[in-house]
Structure 1
Amino acid sequence: MSLGGLAIAIGLIIDDAVVVMENIYRHLGLGESPPQAAELGTRELLGPVVGSTATTLVVFLPLGLLKGVVGDFFSALCLTLGVSVLLSLVFAVTFIPLLSQRFLSPGAHRVSSERFIEPVNRVYERAVRWALGHRRIVVAVTAASVLLGVFLYTRLETGFLPEMDEGGYVLGTSLAETDSILWRIEERVQRMPETASFSRRTGAELGLFATEQNKGDILVKVKPRSQRKRSTDEVIADLRSQIQQNVPGIQVEFIQILQDMIGDLEGSPEPVEIKLFGSSMAVLAQAADEIGAKIQKIPGIVDYKGILKGNPEIVFHVDSALAGRLGLTVDQVSQQVS
C-alpha cells in the first residue's frame, strides 16, 4: 500500500511547486528582479499552499488510526502520502525560490505565454462577477449540493471490500460424512459450464487457522467474464440451489476469494457475525434461536448458520496427592490421558 500512496501523491507533490513557480514567473513579467520576484512570489502564496497541504493531511492522516486489517491496509498508504505531501510543501517554499533566483532572469518571461491564460482569466472574472451579483442563487445551489451529498451518504452502502465479480469463489462445507458426499458436490461443480478449474481440500480451509477434520472447502476458478453469460453471483445462486436440493444434511457457505481471505485475516471467517455473551448457556441458546428466526426472514440472507460451538472438550482435574501415591506426576497423567 505504500506504493499506492506514492501513486496517489505523484500528482499532489508537484502542485505546490508549480503554483509557487508560476507566481514567481508572473512577478518577473511585472519587471521585478529575480531575487525580488522569488521573495514576493513565495510570500504571497505561503498561506494558500500551507492551507492546501494541511487539507490533504487532515483528510488522509486520520485513516492511519484505523484498527484491524483495515488499519493495516491504510496506515502505510496514509503515512507515505502524508510524508510526501509535507516534503513537497517544504521544497516548494524553500528550494524552488532559491532555484528561481539562481536560474531565472527577467528575459525568461515571454509575453506570448500570457495569450493562453488571458482567456481563462476573463472567463473566471465574469464567473466571479456573476456569482457576486447573484448571491442568493449561489447560496441556494450550494445548499442543494450539500443536501444532495447528505442524502447520497445516507443511502449508499459502505464497506471495506466492495462486492465485485472476482472470477472465482470458495465453497465451504461442514459435514460428518466422508468423501462420498464431497464427490457429489464436485460433480455438480464440474458440470457447471462456467467452471474453468477447481481444487478441493478436506480437513483444512483456505486461511490461516486450523480447522476440524470434518470441514473443508472447494476453491473454484470460473472462466473469464467474456467467456460466460452469468456473473459469479448467479453461478453461486444456481449451485447453492442444486446442493440444497440434492445433497441434504450438510452446512454449506459460498464466499468470494478476497472476502474469504480478509475474513480469515480478521479472525471472522463469516461476512456477518452476531456474538452473544452471558453467564447462562441455556439463556444464550434461547436468545440465539429467537434472533436466528428473525434473521432468516430478512430478504437476501443466505448460508445462515445457527449456534456454533467449538470442538467437544473434557476437562480433567488431576489429584496431585493421589497421583503422587502412585508414583506419578501431573504431567505424566496428562500425557497418558492425551
Structure 2
Amino acid sequence: MIVDGAVVMMENSIHRLELGHGQEAPLESVRRAAYEVVRPMTFAVVIIIAVYLPILFLQGLEGRMFRPMATTVCAALFGSLLLALTMIPMLASFAFRGGAPLKLARGAEQHWMERLNRGYSRALSWCIDHRALTVATAAVILIAALASLFLIGTEFMPRLDEGSILVETRKLPGVSLTDSVEISKRIERRLRAFPEIADVVIKIGRPDFATEAMGINEGDTYLLLKPANTWKRFHTKAELITALDRELSQVPGIAYNFTQPMAMCIDETISGVKADLAVKLVGDDFPTLDTLGQHVLRSLSTIRGAADAQMEVTSSVAQLSVNIDRAALARYGLNVTDVEETVAAGGSGDLVSQVIDGQKRYTVALRVPDRYRTDPDAVRGILLRAPGGEEVALDQVAKIQVTRGPEKIEREEGQRRIVVMSNVRGRDLGSFVAEVRSKLEREITLPPGYFIEYGGSLKISSGPCSASRSSFPWWSV
C-alpha cells in the first residue's frame, strides 16, 4: 500500500522508455510517463486515505486507541505519494540515461499475460460500448453493499486471544474469609483437573493498595493455558470455556463470569462492569430494584447468545437490627449514645488505654467473648449501667432481631442502581443488545422514577458506530 505509487511510476517509466526507444530522449519518456499516471495515482491514494478518515472522528477511549494509527497511515500514504511523484521520476531519469533496451519481440511476453491483456481489453471495450448498463450494474452493487450494512453484526473490536482465561467468581454476600478461601480451593482443584490448563492463580478480595473495590466474596481466577496445538479434547477456547462452565456449575452458590484479563480491564474502565453487556436499573427503593432485577435476569437469560447471565448479589445478608425504645431509655436516664457505644464495644471491642514503650506506642483494646458477636440472645443480655446505678439489659431498652438486608448499595451519579450483566457468545454484540432492548421494552414495566441504562462493551462500541454514521456523508463524498 505504501510502495504502490513508486512501483506504478517506475513500471510506467520503463514502459515508455521501451516504447520510445530511439524515437525520443529518455528524459522526455520519463516525463511523459509521470504525466500519464499522476492523476490515477493521486486519486488512488486519496481513496485509501478516505477509508481512514472516519477513525479521526472517534471520541473517548476508541479515539485514543485508533486515532494515532489512522494519522500515521494517512501521513505515510501522503509521503509515499510525494515520493512517487518527485523522487522516483528523478531516479528513473538517472538510472536510464541511455534508455531502456527494446524488447526482442512481442511474443517474448509470457503467454498468460497476453491472454490477460486481451481479456481485459475486450471487457473494457464492452463496458465503454454499454455505458448505461455498466453504470446501472455498479449502482446496484453499491446499493446492495449499503443494504448489507444492516445485516452485518457490530462489535467494538475483534476478540483477541490473550492466551489465558479470567474466571470471575462471586460467592454469597456475607461469606467469611475462611469459607471464601476454602471454596476457592475447591474451584482450583476442579480447574487443575483440565490438562489444557498450565497453572491457576486465584486472587480474593481487594489488593493491599485497594485498586479494586472487591469484597471477600469476590475473586479473580487466572487460568494460564498451554499452547493450543497440545490440546487433546478441545479445538477452540470457546469449547474449553463451555466445559469449564459445566464443571464449575457443580459448585453451588457461586456465580461465574468468563472473560480475559485485558478485556476485563477495558470493560471495567469504561463502565465499571466486567461483562459484555450491563443492564443498569436505577431507582430509589432497593427492594423494588431487586425485584425488577430478577425480572430482567429471567428475560435476559432466554435470549440466544446470553452467557454467564447474573445479577449483582447485594441483598439477603443477615443483619442484627437494634431498634431503640426511646421511652424506655428515658425511664432509666439513658440516651442513644450509651446504647450505640455498648453495642459497638460488644461487636468490635473498645480502646481503653495506651502503652508507651520508649518511642513505641501500643493501644489496648477490650473485647468481650465471641458469643456477643454471634449469638443474638447474648447480645440481648448485654448490661448497661444507668446514671442511678441500675444495671439494665439491652433488650429492656431496645428490640433486637435478625433481619435481612443489602450488603452494599451501589450508586452511580448519586442514584441507587443494581446491575444485571451477561456475556455474549455465538453472535455479535450489536444484534444481541438490540434484541435485549426490544424484549425488555415489551416485558418490563418500570415504576415512575425508575429507568434502565446499558453499559459494558456496548458503551464502547456505540461510540464508534455513532461517530461513523455522523461522518459518513463527509468522507463518502
TM-score bracket for this pair, using the shorter chain length: 0.7 to 0.9
Does structure 1 residue 55 correspond to structure 2 residue 59?
no
Residues 1:276 and 1:18: Cα distance change in structure 2 (over 3 Å) = same
Deviations 1:268-314, CA, capped at 9 Å, x for gaps: 421112234556767655554443332122133222232577xxxxx
Residue aligning to 1:225: 228
Residue aligning to 2:188: 186
Deviations 1:27-51, CA, capped at 9 Å, x for gaps: 3222322332233222222211111
Pick 1 or 2: higher relative contact order, CA cutoff 8 A, min separation 6.
2
> What one-letter code is carried by the residue in structure 2 that aligns with 1:32?
E
Deviations 1:155-201, CA, capped at 9 Å, x for gaps: 34332343466543111112334201111111111122332211111
The 2-side partners of 1:279 and 1:24 are apart by: 75
Q: Report the 3-state secondary structure (helix = DSSP H, G, I; strand = E; otherwise coil) of the residue aligned with 1:211.
A: coil
Aligned equivalent of 1:239, options 233, 237, 244: 244
Deviations 1:3-33, CA, capped at 9 Å, x for gaps: xxxxxxxxx1211112122222333222322
Residue aligning to 2:103: 111
User: Where do residues 1-338 of structure 1 align in structure 2 (5 Å cutoff)?
Assistant: 12-28=1-17, 29-30=19-20, 31-112=23-104, 115-116=108-109, 118-132=114-128, 142=138, 145-146=141-142, 149-150=145-146, 152-163=148-159, 166-175=162-171, 176=175, 177-204=179-206, 209-214=211-216, 215-226=218-229, 227-230=231-234, 231-245=236-250, 247-266=251-270, 267-277=272-282, 287-307=292-312
Contact kept? 1:27, 1:37, Cα under 8 Å: yes
Structure with the greater alpha carbon radius of gyration: 2
Residues 1:240 and 1:103: Cα distance change in structure 2 (over 3 Å) = closer
The structure carrying a bigger helix percent of its residues is 1
The 2-side partners of 1:148 and 1:256 are apart by: 37
The 1-side partners of 2:3 and 2:284 are apart by: 60
Deviation at 1:124, TM superposition (A): 1.6
Residues 1:129 and 1:17: Cα distance change in structure 2 (over 3 Å) = same
The 2-side partners of 1:198 and 1:151 are apart by: 47
Q: Report the 3-state secondary structure (helix = DSSP H, G, I; strand = E; otherwise coil) of the residue aligned with 2:308.
A: coil
CA-based RMSD: 3.4
Contact kept? 1:174, 1:251, Cα under 8 Å: yes
**Segment drifting more, 182-191 vs 24-33:** 24-33
Residue aligning to 2:426: none
> What one-letter code is carried by the residue in structure 2 that aligns with 1:180?
E
Q: Report the 3-state secondary structure (helix = DSSP H, G, I; strand = E; otherwise coil) of the residue aligned with 1:269.
A: coil
Contact kept? 2:6, 2:80, Cα under 8 Å: yes
The 1-side partners of 2:104 and 2:9 are apart by: 20
Q: Report the 3-state secondary structure (helix = DSSP H, G, I; strand = E; otherwise coil) of the residue aligned with 2:213.
A: coil
Residues 1:44 and 1:171: Cα distance change in structure 2 (over 3 Å) = same
The 1-side partners of 2:206 and 2:232 are apart by: 30
Residues 1:145 and 1:33: Cα distance change in structure 2 (over 3 Å) = same
Number of residue pairs aligned between Structure 1 and Structure 2: 298
Deviations 1:95-115, CA, capped at 9 Å, x for gaps: 222223333235324324864
Residue aligning to 1:313: none
The structure carrying a bigger strand percent of its residues is 2
Residues 1:113 and 1:101: Cα distance change in structure 2 (over 3 Å) = farther
The 1-side partners of 2:312 and 2:182 are apart by: 26
Q: Report the 3-state secondary structure (helix = DSSP H, G, I; strand = E; otherwise coil) of the residue aligned with 1:229.
A: coil
Contact kept? 2:26, 2:99, Cα under 8 Å: no
**Segment drifting more, 293-302 vs 130-139:** 130-139
Deviations 1:126-173, CA, capped at 9 Å, x for gaps: 222344456687567656654664565433433234346654311111
The 2-side partners of 1:295 and 1:196 are apart by: 34
Q: Report the 3-state secondary structure (helix = DSSP H, G, I; strand = E; otherwise coil) of the residue aligned with 2:169.
A: strand
Contact kept? 2:27, 2:97, Cα under 8 Å: no
Q: Report the 3-state secondary structure (helix = DSSP H, G, I; strand = E; otherwise coil) of the residue aligned with 1:302.
A: strand
TM-score w.r.t. length of structure 2: 0.54
**Segment drifting more, 279-288 vs 114-123:** 279-288
TM-score w.r.t. length of structure 1: 0.74
Contact kept? 1:69, 1:262, Cα under 8 Å: no
The 2-side partners of 1:280 and 1:87 are apart by: 61
> What one-letter code is carried by the residue in structure 2 that aligns with 1:64?
L
The 1-side partners of 2:239 and 2:286 are apart by: 39
Q: Which runs of 5+ in 2 are unaligned?
A: 315-477
> What one-letter code is carried by the residue in structure 1 that aligns with 2:226?
K
Deviation at 1:63, TM superposition (A): 1.4
